[in-house]
Amino acid sequence: MYTQMAKIRVFEDNANQLYLDAKMPGLTHMYSGEEAVAVGICEALKVTDKITSTHRGHGHCMAKGADFRQMFCELLGKVNGYCRGKGGSMHIADQTNGNLGANAIVGGSMGIATGSALRAKLQKSDDVTVCFFGDGATAQGLMYEVMNMAALWKLPVIYACENNGYSEYTSTDEIAAGEILERARAFGIEAFSVDGQDVIAVNRLASELVEKARKGKGPFFIELMTYRYHGHHVGDINRTYYRSKEEETEWKKNRDPIEILGTFLKTEGIANDDELRELYLKVRSEASEAVDYAINADYPDISEVDMHVFQEG
Amino acid sequence: MYTQMAKIRVFEDNANQLYLDAKMPGLTHMYSGEEAVAVGICEALKVTDKITSTHRGHGHCMAKGADFRQMFCELLGKVNGYCRGKGGSMHIADQTNGNLGANAIVGGSMGIATGSALRAKLQKSDDVTVCFFGDGATAQGLMYEVMNMAALWKLPVIYACENNGYSEYTSTDEIAAGEILERARAFGIEAFSVDGQDVIAVNRLASELVEKARKGKGPFFIELMTYRYHGHHVGDINRTYYRSKEEETEWKKNRDPIEILGTFLKTEGIANDDELRELYLKVRSEASEAVDYAINADYPDISEVDMHVFQEG
Amino acid sequence: MPEITLSQAVNQAIAEEMRRDETVFLIGEDVAEAGTPFKVTSGLVEEFSTDRIIDTPISEPGFMGLAVGAAMTGSRPIVDLMFGDFLFLVMDQLCNQAAKIHYMSGGKLNVPLVLRTNLGATRRSAAQHSQSLHALVAHIPGLKVAMPSSAYEAKGLLKTAIRDDNPVVIFEDKLMYQDKAFVPEEEYRLPFGKAAILREGTDVTLIGTSSMRQVCEKAALLLEQDGINAEVIDPRTLVPLDESTILDSVKRTSRAIVVDEGHQNFGTTAEIASRISEKAFYFLDAPVVRMGAMDVPIPFSPVLEDITVPTAEGVADKARKLVAGELIHAL
Amino acid sequence: MPEITLSQAVNQAIAEEMRRDETVFLIGEDVAEAGTPFKVTSGLVEEFSTDRIIDTPISEPGFMGLAVGAAMTGSRPIVDLMFGDFLFLVMDQLCNQAAKIHYMSGGKLNVPLVLRTNLGATRRSAAQHSQSLHALVAHIPGLKVAMPSSAYEAKGLLKTAIRDDNPVVIFEDKLMYQDKAFVPEEEYRLPFGKAAILREGTDVTLIGTSSMRQVCEKAALLLEQDGINAEVIDPRTLVPLDESTILDSVKRTSRAIVVDEGHQNFGTTAEIASRISEKAFYFLDAPVVRMGAMDVPIPFSPVLEDITVPTAEGVADKARKLVAGELIHAL
Ligand SMILES: Cc1ncc(C[n+]2csc(CCOP(=O)(O)OP(=O)(O)O)c2C)c(N)n1
Ligand SMILES: Cc1ncc(C[n+]2csc(CCOP(=O)(O)OP(=O)(O)O)c2C)c(N)n1
Ligand SMILES: [Mg+2]
Ligand SMILES: [Mg+2]
């Protein structure tokens, strides 16, 4: 899990740099700071399990098993990307690992995740689907519609609410009345809260719930308390009007998920500083190699523009 | 309140007859059996207070002060109807009494009601808006979106859920997971359940909540347990595959809202049998007169077809 | 060939495809025991059980979303949307998700689902239960749009839709559910993008889908009495659109009327008429005439509602003027 | 006349109307302190407070519904929909409710609201943040649709929209927010249904709204170098549409190209082209040419995205062929 979290952090550092160097088209939303959420959950999943992701989707994609090269290529709009450059950061999908895709419509994937679980139930397949979404997405009515059906039909789906305290430039308490967990419970769905910076706690809870869901005891709801280090997107630099520098420093310094796991590994004698540093450096060099690969990769041929509108056959 | 309930019952009896006689275009949804809900609530409202209504909207319209003639005319598509015949049963509205209209989209008026309450707050007006909707409408995501905003902004709106046990041909427990009241509470909204056949109980609760809402203590949510005597619509005759004859008889015989109030009035010595009968007969003759009026009224001139697409000026 | 109703034809198509392919299921409001308000799906639940004929809460965006997710992962859902007017509720899931997923994923994911819904006014159902909204979905790349005009088309097109690997929206005409037509007993499917020439003619081409095919056919009969020989074409699918059959016909007749039950402004008559005007320009003896529904919300009152929709008499009238050269706008 | 950006023009229009009329308020996501992602509404909250500049949760159907209810009862809301692509989420409230309430109530209720949103690709925002969906709303009776093509239009049309007693959808071009234009200091409003002739010409009429007006103007400059004299028309509003200005022009030039950033199929070019073909039939020397965006979801990759949208070079090229008589489809 340490490596996976490091890979996400390093991926985002590189993505940010690509943006600053004007090498990346458009803009993107960084997952840094929230690594324990994606990794803690996805490590509880099999490759046949499915996830749906969000606009802030690099972490989910990586945690579900994607590789650097195809991800960087996608971010740069290259033909070797996961979506042949057609999706970009906000639509990255990796169907070989069960990632049904990022989504640029907030809450837009909640139906998809629940539908994937319905398919599993109908086809008597034992895979579980995890639906990632932010605290802001709890304001989308679609969530309540699909939770109702998931609860009625006992679908193997887990709703994972990444509560990072903000949706864009607004803090969660200004946009969410009452209690998020109670909303799930009102539909008869068991709901849990967990420290989203503690990958071990996340993983423990997720493993338990995934196995229950696999046995037909779903659905479940988890609220994961976490924090995004960067702005809402790469261009969101001046943030003091909506959150304080102190708050940011506090999370980065005292609640960093990678450091928390690192400290744990060291305390438990599982790894030492040098090993961790080496691991991190290895991830870094893999990433740089992949960035170079992506920068030199080809764009799709323009004849691809009207391919894939419809599936032939 | 007795007269108001009688008027609704009699209106529906006539509407049903018009349908059977093939004098009414299209079909319609009868409110019979649920009179205490509309009347108990609307009697707690001022003429300046607003309501939004549903596909089963005759009761709300009548209870909020509408008159027989314009209502029958509307049902028959005549120019003297509330909407000049353009709306019909499913869109009947009466802005002079604050009825913002029936709605043929289940749940479609929840935003409208909440928006009316937002307007009241912004304009520092002290009117309250009541949003009527069925148990089936709780499956529409829109409800959760607007309850969230109503709760965040303390809007003077009351959500009145008419739980008649069915949405179309499906019973409520097959389509609603968990607890309906808990869903409102999860958004921090105070929620109450009341016997929807007992007009006095309904009115007492409604009066209390309306006055609270008027003072800025809203929003509130009420679930009213009730029953529709007829089918989902006038054409829904064979109902045994979704509900039993016994159940229907039980409600009609032992839980009729008009009889319950009648018994109360008699027990308390407020009215006797003769008075009630006379009152009922008076309502009936008013209704027949209005039906005749409506049958003989004019259809709109065909030049009206493209009027009112846009408001001029 | 037995004669069956459109409603039975749809029912048969669903049943046959569900027997053939286990991954097909039906989802919507009151589709099981109740068999929908139009009784189109009656009896299916007895054969396929509530596992595959799924009643939902009144959550159109929700169950549309579920269908997208199920389709992406190996099922082939048929979504029953009770009224075409409710399309507005599912547009995000249909147009932002279903329509785009194959493309956005570079061809790696796909969404084989069918959205069955309906269109058509003059049932006295007023503005929110009478709309014909096919133009909206036809505008969105990634969606196919089928418009059956009889029981025969309804069965053949629906079977094709269910086997298609893309999202398909199919509009049935509410008023036609009880209309009968001859339908082969043996299995058949109708290809998308292939128009039907229902009647050959030399003087004017009448083009109409769904409910308007009948209107065109009746207009052709009226015109016959005046010695005017009308060709009637039913494109059957709007996306893909069989442009060549239409153009070939107009090149022969030199005149065309495009009839549709959707609103005229920014509707499907505009697309078809402008393609004809562009691509058969030098063959036209007169401007292409468009006859869509009036650009007003559908009124409840019967006297008003009836005049909002094109009628056979109206089409015949225009055709007569067109042939007589009287439809030239003031110079 | 000061030169200001389109973003400033919109900001001024809102501020002026809010000062004039207390019932006007603004509602949407991150419109207050954040001033929207495009910083269009920055500063308004300081003047009008959070009472009238209202930040909402991410509930597009919800706040659209609230706006309808507020408008029906005496407010004049301006709804800020962050991306035009989110229209799909508010279609029910916009098209089934707002558009129809005046009509369904027989003229007794009305819904004076403005839905401000945007359109436009080539910002590398991919398929769900790049759509130009004006054709969809233009198809629905009861909605007016305005398409500003510069800061001047943006201010003048928005002020008219806010005072209109009907629901108006106004599409701003995302790429144009920083573009400057001269805007009068004194109060002005631009009427709906009145097209602007931006450049007079004799050889061909180029018609484009919003982003495509600039494309048409640039194409006209390119054509000038070849001695081709193009007239450029910006209809400014699609509903109501100023048909007569367009027809008058085409009757003079005998040729027309209709350019649009929405998808071509079943889009706005079809409506405008087919009206010209019908009503200026005998004046046309060549078929009306339609140039919409490609009928594909907007791809992310810049090399692909850039070719999906009409360009000045592309328009000029077509115009040259049109004038040379080379655009006749095979006989
Ligand atoms: C339907 C919709 N509305 C608005 C947006 C614009 N938007 C993108 S991300 C975002 C905030 C989402 O907040 P949250 O769900 O908490 O996720 P986070 O960004 O915090 O990870 C918004 C409003 C969108 N993409 N889709
Ligand atoms: C959005 C939408 N979906 C479906 C329908 C069809 N429909 C009309 S009434 C109804 C049942 C509504 O049930 P409920 O809200 O409980 O009200 P009731 O009829 O019991 O009064 C349905 C499904 C509709 N009109 N609108
Ligand atoms: Mg968040
Ligand atoms: Mg009910």
Which tens digits make up the pLDDT trace of D220-251? 999 999 999 999 999 999 999 999 999 999 99
Any domain includes A90: yes
Any domain includes A43: yes
Nearest CA among B87, B71, B1 for reference residue B36? B1
Partners of D108 on chain B (C-beta within 8 Å) are 82-83, 93, 95
Structural domain span for residue B66: 2-296
Residues 6+ apart with CB under 8 A from C279: C243, C247, D287, D329
Partners of D123 on chain A (C-beta within 8 Å) are 26
Residue C181 forms beta bridges with which residues?
A: C4
Cis status, amide bond into A219, omega within 30 of 0: yes
Distance CA A119, CA B152 (A): 37
Which domains occur in chain C, in start order? 3-182 (3.40.50.970), 196-322 (3.40.50.920)
Mean pLDDT, chain A, whole residue set: 97
* Average pLDDT of the segment spanning D29-50: 96
Q: Which amino acid is at B72?
A: F
CA C88 to ligand 1 center in whole angstroms: 22
Whole-number pLDDT of residue C327: 75
DSSP assignment letter at C92: I
Residues 6+ apart with CB under 8 A from A37: A59, A132, A160, A162, A196, A202, A224, A226
Number of domains in chain B: 1
pLDDT tens, position by position, for chain C (331 residues)?
899 999 999 999 999 999 999 999 999 999 999 999 999 999 999 999 999 999 999 999 999 999 999 999 999 999 999 999 999 999 999 999 999 999 999 999 999 999 999 999 999 999 999 999 999 999 999 999 999 999 999 999 999 999 999 999 999 999 999 999 999 999 999 999 999 999 999 999 999 999 999 999 999 999 999 999 999 999 999 999 999 999 999 999 999 999 999 999 999 999 999 999 999 999 999 999 999 999 999 999 999 999 999 999 999 999 999 999 887 665 4
Nearest CA among D310, D314, D307, D292 for reference residue D133? D292
B140 touches chain A (CB under 8 A): yes
Distance CA B157, CA B154 (A): 9
Residue D329 — pLDDT band, cuts 50, 70, 90?
Answer: low
Buried b (16+ CB within 10 A) or exposed e, B240-256: eebeeeeebeebeeebb
CA angle D158, C91, D139 (to 5 degrees): 50
Pocket test for ligand 2, best of B12, B27, B54, B55 (most atoms within 8 A of CB): B55
Distance CA D300, CA D101 (A): 39
Distance CA B270, CA A3 (A): 81
Residues 6+ apart with CB under 8 A from C171: C84, C117, C118, C119, C132, C134, C145, C146, C147, C148, C210
Q: Which CATH number covers residue B219? A: 3.40.50.970
Distance CA D69, CA B142 (A): 14
Nearest CA among B71, B96, B95, B99 for reference residue B85? B71
Partners of A171 on chain D (C-beta within 8 Å) are none
C91 and C68 Cβ atoms separated by less than 8 Å: no
Partners of C87 on chain D (C-beta within 8 Å) are 91
Distance CA C79, CA C94 (A): 11
Chains in contact with C via at least 3 Cβ–Cβ pairs below 8 Å: A, B, D
Neighbour-count burial of B124, counting CB atoms closer than 10 A to its CB (0-12 exposed, 13-18 middle, 19+ buried): exposed
Asked whether the CA dihedral C241, C243, C249, C255 is positive or negative, the reply is positive
Alpha helices by DSSP H, listed for chain D, are 6-20, 44-52, 60-72, 87-91, 99-104, 134-138, 151-163, 211-225, 243-253, 268-279, 302-305, 312-323
ipTM above 0.95, yes or no: yes
Pocket of ligand 1 (CB under 6 A): A 55-56, 104-106, 134-137, 162, 164, 166-168, 232; D 29, 58, 60, 82, 86, 89
Residue B313 — pLDDT band, cuts 50, 70, 90?
Answer: confident
Question: What's the distance, CA D291 to chain centroid?
Answer: 16
Instruction: Compare CB distances from B177 to A143, A182, A188 and report the shortest one's residue.
Output: A188
User: Which atom of ligand 2 approaches the CA of B34 most closely?
Assistant: 21
Partners of D104 on chain B (C-beta within 8 Å) are 83, 86-87, 91, 93, 101
Residue D326 — pLDDT band, cuts 50, 70, 90?
Answer: confident
* Average pLDDT of the segment spanning B233-247: 94
Question: Which tokens in the block code for residue A68?
Answer: 């650097």
Whole-number pLDDT of residue D108: 97
Any domain includes A311: no
CA C19 to ligand 1 center in whole angstroms: 42
pLDDT in tens, A296-307: 999 999 999 999
Contact B85 C304 (CB under 8 A): yes
Minimum Cα–Cα distance from D102: chain B residue:
B308
Contacts across the A-B interface (CB distance below 8 Å): 79
Partners of D126 on chain A (C-beta within 8 Å) are 26, 86-88, 90-91, 104
Distance CA D235, CA A225 (A): 51
Any domain includes A308: no
* Average pLDDT of the segment spanning D115-133: 97
Evaluate if pTM is beyond 0.90: yes
Pocket of ligand 2 (CB under 6 A): B 55-56, 104-106, 134-137, 162, 164, 166-168, 232; C 29, 58, 60, 82, 86, 89
CA angle B250, B251, B255 (to 5 degrees): 115
Chains in contact with A via at least 3 Cβ–Cβ pairs below 8 Å: B, C, D
Any domain includes A236: yes
Contact B93 D108 (CB under 8 A): yes
Whole-number pLDDT of residue C326: 86
Q: Could you confirm whether D129 is annotated as catalytic?
A: yes
Contact C300 B25 (CB under 8 A): yes
CA C30 to ligand 2 center in whole angstroms: 11
Contact A242 D58 (CB under 8 A): no
Q: Could you confirm whether C185 is annotated as catalytic?
A: no
Per-residue pLDDT at B112 exceeds 60: yes
Among D102, D129, D134, D263, the active-site one is D129
CA A106 to ligand 1 center in whole angstroms: 5
Neighbour-count burial of D38, counting CB atoms closer than 10 A to its CB (0-12 exposed, 13-18 middle, 19+ buried): middle
Pocket test for ligand 1, best of D30, D63, D82, D83 (most atoms within 8 A of CB): D82
Among C60, C153, C231, C261, the active-site one is C60
DSSP assignment letter at C301: S
Residue D330 — pLDDT band, cuts 50, 70, 90?
Answer: low
Place of tokens 């423990």: A204
Q: Which residue, among B105, B144, B220, would best test binding to A if mutated, counting the most A CBs under 10 Å from its CB?
A: B144
pLDDT in tens, A85-120: 999 999 999 999 999 999 999 999 999 999 999 999
